[in-house]
Structure 1
Amino acid sequence: MEDSETIEKTPILNSKTVNPDTKFNKNDQIIDSEIIFEFGGPWGVTAIMFGFPTLMFYLWGCLQFYHGHLISPFNMELWSQIVEGATPTWYSTKVYILFCLFEFFLAYSMPGPIIKGAPVSSLEGKQLDYLCNGLISWYATLVISYLLHYYGWFRLTDIIGNFGPLMTVAVITGFTVTLLIYVITVIQGKQYRMSGYLMYDLFMGAVLNPRLGKVDLKMFAEIRIPWVILFYVSVSAAIKEYEMFGYVSSSMCFMVLAHFLYVNACAKGEECIPTTWDMSYEKFGFMLIFWNLAGVPFTYCYATVYLHITSIDNGQPLQHSAYWTYFCYALLLSGYYIWDTANSQKNRFRMIRNGTYIPRYTFPQLVWGTLKDPTFIQTKHGNLLLTAGWWGIARKIHYTADLMMAFAWGFITGLNTPITYFYPVFFLIVLVHRVYRDMKRCAKKYGKDWEEYCRQVPYIFVPGIY
């Protein structure tokens, strides 16, 4: 979650210059250093750390072995099937680890613009440099994967064929990296905003801005791993479907398109990430590490897994009526348009004001992605609250659009299993929690100015409704 409609106070500069004297509000340091127990505190996060991976295996087992039906979690036969089907192999370990190392190599070595991040409270307002080479790294990944598949060095169909073992490797990696980052941080004495409760600090993290060379590990984990894997799970299932039936169904094409749009958006807009609240406030703990290394890529893909398993069980791909298919595509593409342009408006507004905006003309550039002479509220705190474009319609319009896409991912699978709706329902819960955190923080940060902002933009998600 980020302080999503605000930008740091800086003068307007040439778009290719960086302001070295960005002012920093000391009150931010006080607010950002406060320890606030979330997710039920130490006991709650402990339950999440062990309960969520268990849920991942359970839901996958129901998809893989019981056609998406929810079997009793106390069914021992189910768990024996899960253990047998998800036991990690040397091959799955090699594939996952080499992929992560390859993406790190690209993040470290590929060229790209260097963007200043938002002022960091723990560093007395210092702005860190971020190498943003996500787009060229994404294209390089596409080319290399095509060559590996074409020449038979690594068949992309092996991804969906080894889904269970790959998921287990990702889960183990998530726990391992969490422990390593925590221990190294404490040894180096770089821990920040610690609660004093071990499990809570493991979950929320100990370090704020971990780096390995010039690669920011937090941004790397958030952008380079989860969405790319998610996309390749769908590509793998689509290729497998083509090999089995000689064509790819409209439902599977939908999932490939949906996941391509998402990962491509993350790559083409990577330069917007350094100024977000995630980078300047959230610490790098289990919450971010596990979620990005294992949670996102191996739970957000349940729709793809269901379509794949169903095609095998039924001897043909799952197809819907033309009207239902058109509806799903329309919901996806309209949601994507709002989501892409809303995020573009916000971040370009912020970057232009900060003097960090660099026009890149990456694909696709959508109409209304940049606001001309936008309206905003100048707060006494020093920040600006955007009230133009999509942000004058609803305060969290980008979340609404994100949910439109999320539910479209579920709708394309039909209504035969609730498991394919795990992502949109879970995502809805996450976003409501994010909004609560954001509203509470902003009210404290901006006071009367926030009240005026809420008066001018009264709706949060849906204009005229809520």
Structure 2
Amino acid sequence: MGITKQGELNPRTEKYEFLGPPGALLIILGVPTIVFGLYFGCSENSGGCPPPLAVVNLGIIDAVSNISWWKSLWGTQACAAYLAWYSFTVIAWFTLPGDWIEGTLMRDGSRKKYKINAFSTFLLALGLVFGFIFSLGPKSFTFIYERYVGLMAASFTMSIAQSLYCYISSFRSNKLLALGGNTGNPIYDFFIGRELNPSIGSFDLKSFNEVRPGLILWALIDISMACEQSVRRGGSISDSMALVVLFHILYIGDCAYNESAIFTTMDITTEGFGFMLAVAITWVPFVYSLQARYLVFNQIELGPTWTAVIAMINLTGYWIFRSANNEKNGFRNGRNSKNLKYINTEQGTKLLVSGWWGLCRHPNYLGDLLMALAWSLPTKFNTPVTYFYVSFFLLLLIHRQRRDDEHCEKKYGADWRRYMQLVPYRIFPYIY
């Protein structure tokens, strides 16, 4: 590929997001601070959830000034276990059968092919874990609870290593860069992702990390939390723990089963693969499992009424989430069994204006948020910390919705403004 053509395909990014390099640096430093802070701020070993303010202040000062505390974050056994887990997911990708599908047309005229076998990887992992627990008892799988901090540190190290590798390799010739990650500022480009689709042969790093090592590990962490609670209770688990673990496993299984749906999302089609996406292998399993970890040392019994109410909220959220996504994916693949209304654009794309997508522009986000609320409700209202996920998720989805609207405004112009008049609500019908 000549220099001129390379420059046309990979123009210099002129506009920053996330407040530019300072904002990117703040997020890079802030993510591990939040992940580890949520552990130490909600742990039986640190004095509560959250601990008393005086304990927090003294604990932070003592910790950051003590080299032994920093060393304690790392564990050799935990690192080995995490590497074994990550290697398992890679081997499963290569060895388990799966269909190959084509992604969307890229601006260089090519289409990447992606292997789909996340669901079989998920089932294999669950089968091995449940077989292990059945043979050796719940105590055998409390390792994750006991080595939680070391596993967090190992996963974060892996995310940094991947981000660095992808940033450095993006400077090789003939790379297709992300339109938003070619600013020339190393901090920002490292964060946002410089290369669009970093791959090792046919092994696509971005799509692999999206639905395998972090997402499936989240389920295994939940199961370990349930095992720890079971050991403490003499063989049973609380109804609150059962709800949280069941909700999460169903959600993870659904994401893995519908893996093909991710290949039309902005993460795959538009974003580069940098720290912002790579750190999900730490953020997803270790932040999203907070409620299950909390219930280990705060064992709440909900009773049948609360259990039924929370289950209904989760099922309602899942129904909206899945049916909305099915409408969109079916329509994109040329199926319109519901005779949904749409408008044509000058780009040749059709925009749905009826069904779930006529109620608001992102009904899938609405379903996601209802499920996130249901995951926190089993902890009752004893602490705001266990509601971190749904609060963070609300801000994340509002930000993502605004980015998506801005992207579509540039892409469709007047057609998008016409669409917004027909579908005025963004996430919450008649509210926002």
Q: Does 1:458 align with 2:414?
A: no
Q: CA 1:327–1:420 in structure 2 vs 1: closer, same or farther (change >3 Å)?
A: same
Q: CA 1:167–1:86 in structure 2 vs 1: closer, same or farther (change >3 Å)?
A: farther
The one-letter code matched in structure 1 to 2:130 is Y
Work out the CA distance in 1 between the residues paired with 2:57 and 2:206. 34
Any residues of structure 2 matched to 1:67-216 within 5 Å, and which? 67-69=48-50, 71=53, 72=56, 75-77=60-62, 83=69, 87-121=73-107, 124-152=108-136, 155-187=140-172, 190=175, 192=177, 193=179, 194-216=182-204
Aligned-residue CA RMSD (Å): 2.5
Q: Does 1:324 align with 2:306?
A: yes
Q: CA 1:457–1:238 in structure 2 vs 1: closer, same or farther (change >3 Å)?
A: same
Any residues of structure 2 matched to 1:61-72 within 5 Å, and which? 61-64=40-43, 65-69=46-50, 71=53, 72=56
Q: CA 1:445–1:187 in structure 2 vs 1: closer, same or farther (change >3 Å)?
A: closer
Work out the CA distance in 2 between the residues paired with 1:152 and 1:249. 21
The match for 1:412 is 378
How many angstroms does 1:397 deviate by? 0.9
Task: Classify the secondary structure of the residue corresponding to 1:186.
Answer: coil
The one-letter code matched in structure 2 to 1:443 is E
Contact 2:215 2:285 in 1 (8 A): yes
Work out the CA distance in 2 between the residues paired with 1:86 and 1:414. 32
Contact 2:13 2:183 in 1 (8 A): no
Contact 2:118 2:257 in 1 (8 A): yes
Contact 1:210 1:218 in 2 (8 A): yes
Pick from 18, 21, 37: which aligns with 1:42? 21
Query: Which range is displaced more, 30-39 or 247-256?
Result: 30-39
Contact 1:400 1:462 in 2 (8 A): yes
Any residues of structure 2 matched to 1:11-410 within 5 Å, and which? 34-64=13-43, 65-69=46-50, 71=53, 72=56, 75-77=60-62, 83=69, 87-121=73-107, 124-152=108-136, 155-187=140-172, 190=175, 192=177, 193=179, 194-245=182-233, 246-290=235-279, 292-310=280-298, 317-352=299-334, 371-410=337-376
Consecutive unaligned residues in structure 1, runs of 5 or more: 1-28, 311-316, 354-369
The one-letter code matched in structure 1 to 2:347 is H
Task: Classify the secondary structure of the residue corresponding to 2:42.
Answer: helix
The one-letter code matched in structure 2 to 1:350 is R
Pick from 405, 410, 419: which aligns with 1:444? 410
Any residues of structure 2 matched to 1:419-438 within 5 Å, and which? 419-438=385-404
How many angstroms does 1:214 deviate by? 2.3
Contact 1:371 1:389 in 2 (8 A): no
Consecutive unaligned residues in structure 2, runs of 5 or more: 1-7
Work out the CA distance in 1 between the residues paired with 2:175 and 2:10. 19
The match for 1:361 is none
Task: Classify the secondary structure of the residue corresponding to 1:377.
Answer: strand
Contact 1:227 1:259 in 2 (8 A): no
The one-letter code matched in structure 2 to 1:69 is P
Contact 1:85 1:165 in 2 (8 A): no
The one-letter code matched in structure 2 to 1:146 is F
